[in-house]
Amino acid sequence: MWRSLSDESKKFVRALLCVDPSRRLTADQALEHRWLDSQFPLSDRVPKESMLGSIHDSIIAYSDMSEFKKMALMVIAHQSSTSEIMELRKAFDAYDVANQGTITFDEFKSAMKKANTQHTDDEIEKLFKSVDIGHDNEIYYLEFLAATLSAHGRINEERLAEAFDRIDSDDKGFISRENLKEILGTDYSKEKVDQYMQEADFLGDNKISFEEFVKFFQADQMQQVRAFRLDESNSASSNSLSVEPENDSSASVPVPEHLLHE
């Protein structure tokens, strides 16, 4: 296989494997190497500026979502294919400056400040905690993905149907309390499960139909983004952007560990 490689690619590999640290390529030098740039242009490795702005808006909207909605987004994120979320993967890598596979608070703060210089440190901390649903002081890729899926636009019914079917594990055509207990696990109280049920059970029949699930999920998506943009424009005069959520965004969102760390 080595013989089949181009001379330029061999030089690149040798430069990475050089025993002498003073001659070995640094990470920054490797990213700027002409062979890498010829094979993987920078435009293919970094997110578009417009996408970064949409991601910022999505995180703002996500911080105000209920725990049940965040859980549903985690399910959708877990089932997303690579091709569907290519730009979001690039954005995650842009946030993850140290390339450690997670986003630290300092990395998140830097990215959010670039997107909106009006943010205070306290506001950014609240946003960080709303995305860090595992409460381990770092944001995993799946957490980031769940918080930014709407950057691609309104989540359509096909994706919601996939999430609904995943939660409706016994294929009864509706989400029951037992379904919620199953996907959340045994660590969460009956009161929490009942709370989730009440959020979307508009008919009060102790089950959540697909129609109710869609209504619950999509009702305020656009309103949240519009509200944020209004707040952002108003902040120019007050020099402060309020991100106080209706719900406690720092509350623990019960998401199955097998989803978070896969």
pLDDT at 20: 80
pLDDT at 219: 72
For residue 13, the tally of other CB atoms under 10 A from its CB is 12
pLDDT at 105: 97
pLDDT at 223: 52
- Model pLDDT for residues 227-251, shown as the tens digit of each residue: 545 555 555 444 444 344 344 444 4
Detail the DSSP E strand segments found in 41-198.
Answer: 174-175
| Dihedral angle sign, alpha carbons of residues 200, 203, 209, 212 | negative
pLDDT at 104: 97
Tell me how far apart the alpha carbons of residues 118 and 112 are, in angstroms, rounded to a whole number: 10
Half-sphere exposure of 151 (CA within 13 A, CB side): 30
Tell me how far apart the alpha carbons of residues 254 and 75 are, in angstroms, rounded to a whole number: 12
Of 84, 223, 103, 101, which Cα lies nearest the Cα of 159?
Answer: 84
Considering just the CA atoms, what is the radius of gyration of the chain in Å? 21
pLDDT at 187: 66
Query: What's the Cα-to-Cα distance from 243 to each of 27, 113, 122, 130, 143, rounded to whole Å?
Result: 36, 14, 10, 11, 19
CA angle 61, 154, 129 (to 5 degrees): 25
Domain regions of the chain by residue span: 2-45, 48-262
Query: Taking the chain, what is the end-to-end CA distance rounded to the nearest angstrom?
Result: 32
CATH architecture classification, 48-262: Orthogonal Bundle (1.10)
pLDDT at 163: 92
pLDDT at 80: 82
Regions in the chain scoring below 50 on pLDDT: 42-43, 45, 225, 228, 236-252, 254, 258
Tell me how far apart the alpha carbons of residues 57 and 48 are, in angstroms, rounded to a whole number: 15
